[in-house]
Chain A
């Protein structure tokens, strides 16, 4: 099914050729999640170790990606080669975005909201990150990870829903937040990534909203001395108790909570408190 969907995309958009295969690929519809892999990364064969087993017509597909394919080969193999080139590019992409340069490129896309916004209402349009459920191609399509509710969502559009999750890999979003802890979204308040995302409450942004949040999270924790005005989870800040600030939806009938749901939510919150207690305990001992 993935294979077919990929072919469908490829047929429609052959007309608009850009200078290179990669830039054509990136500009074609449905490939908005991908970032550009530096050419020297692709040309370093070490980075491609093992991919020749995954991709049929590996050599030609690689030539196609790097625009070194002979024209006469192109005609006969064209159709299938395009699919293989996409697969190869996707698998290289999965390796690229967990490198320092690749992460930096994806951070830019993340800040622009290229991967969409969290559909959860209480996440307030938090920017998402693509993630795979498995690193093997042709298994599962790409999902979107929200750093605020730490959950996975399916892409809204079927164009994106048919992208292979292996092109992003299971590691990427978590490594990104490991490398860029300042980008870890706050559990409350407007998202970090600026006014573009807060479409409905853009006025309650930066200074006013940020300081309120900061005040709320502040007690007993040292704050980063930066003056950016937005709250972030920086290196110096403890994240042990951030979960306590997360908002949640409480189902109600005529204003009254439902017995069973409320019981489950109390249990969940008690579980949360236990984790918070444990983490704070750990922190107290460490310091």
Chain B
């Protein structure tokens, strides 16, 4: 809290504003080597490495401060402190200068949240990003992807700053405890993502093709396939960087742990990427497989795709009660009925109709075991596996 100027004559940080006179006219002509502004002092404190310096004219523009004065106590004094303005004579009203200091920190943080969304702020942050000041993702298979600071809330006092990794789209606790005191709201929820919209060449693409040959699958590696070719994401508004897409596969004595084991892998989806951008389109906006396939759903073929018509589709909650209500649409009505699995055999054309708007109570008149008894509690969620008659040939390869 003591403010260390480079000049020795500035001492006693509690009597703050004893700066030379030239400070009062907004510093534009001051010599930066001889004095240290409050802002650059603040940004140089340990734990404040993630902050960039907000320009003073940004802070001086009242429009940028709209609404903040209700959130910051001792607004005027805090503004004076941040801008290094000589306080008024009647400043003695303030009981304790440390209160103003915390107000100034809050003010600066909230202005910072807004500033880094603008062009100048994004530019300041990209410089820090590229020099690796924010650190790298702790996840091994992100292979040292640089991260950016990120808040979980835009309101102060809720949570401390986190780090967002664009490769795994996840947030992490900063490695050092000195960031435990930095409020996440000073960076905000939007900044990290706006940043990667602006700097798409730093944003990894959502698909990844494993390198075709060589290398131990146990070792983390950035994708080396076609390294000589420039990487292109067909979506011009998407990430333009080649992703680090390897997903960890647990092994016991060299053998993969089967997903059928209780302790088998359950979370690989969280990090998985499709091989091509087109595969992303196989899932509709509600998160269901659009292009269902005629895979023989042999029980252990992992490519059996399932479509999940859940009319009151919450996002990803309470899908566990669907296990008994599954309806599969198989290639032919003569398919085996296996093991108590009820299935209705809807011809493809009608299945499409069902797909478009499936009502929970839609009658299904076809197929031998068509009507399924829905458990009363669920209000009817139905899972279908449906097939298209015309489907791209590359989707086979399962059975």
Q: Which residues of A contact B (CB under 8 A)?
A: 119-122, 133-134, 140, 143, 145, 148-154, 156, 170-171, 173-175, 177-178, 181, 184, 187, 217, 219-221, 233, 235, 239, 241-244, 246, 248-249, 251-255, 258-261, 263-282, 284-285
Number of contacts between A and B (CB, 8 Å)? 214
Contact B218 A133 (CB under 8 A): yes
Q: Which residues of B contact A (CB under 8 A)?
A: 138-141, 152, 162, 164, 169-173, 175, 189-190, 192-194, 197, 206, 216, 218-220, 235, 237-239, 248, 250-254, 257, 259-274, 279-280, 282-283, 285, 287-289, 299-300, 302, 304-306, 308, 316-317, 319-321, 323-324, 326, 338-341, 383
**In the complex with contacts A150-B268, A275-B269, A260-B320 CB distance below 8 A:** no
Provide the bound-state CA to CA distance between A35 and B187, in Å: 41
Identify the closest chain A residue to B220 (Cβ). A133
Contact A275 B257 (CB under 8 A): no
* Most chain A CB atoms below 10 A, which of B220, B302, B320, B339: B320
Q: Which of A140, A171, A265 contacts B253 (CB 8 A)?
A: A171
Chain B positions within 8 Å of A275 at CB level: 259, 266, 269, 302
Provide the bound-state CA to CA distance between A148 and B267, in Å: 8
Contact B251 A120 (CB under 8 A): no
Identify the closest chain A residue to B308 (Cβ). A273
Contacts A242-B266, A280-B323 given; 18 further ones with Cβ under 8 A?
A: A150-B270, A151-B267, A152-B141, A152-B248, A153-B140, A171-B252, A219-B321, A243-B269, A244-B317, A244-B320, A259-B238, A261-B193, A263-B280, A264-B169, A265-B169, A270-B288, A277-B306, A277-B383
Contact A272 B269 (CB under 8 A): yes
Q: Which of A134, A184, A219 contacts B219 (CB 8 A)?
A: A134
Contact B287 A270 (CB under 8 A): yes
Provide the bound-state CA to CA distance between A282 and B288, in Å: 21
Provide the bound-state CA to CA distance between A248 and B323, in Å: 22
Contact A284 B339 (CB under 8 A): yes
Provide the bound-state CA to CA distance between A248 and B316, in Å: 10
Contact B169 A174 (CB under 8 A): no
Contact B219 A140 (CB under 8 A): yes
Contact B193 A241 (CB under 8 A): no
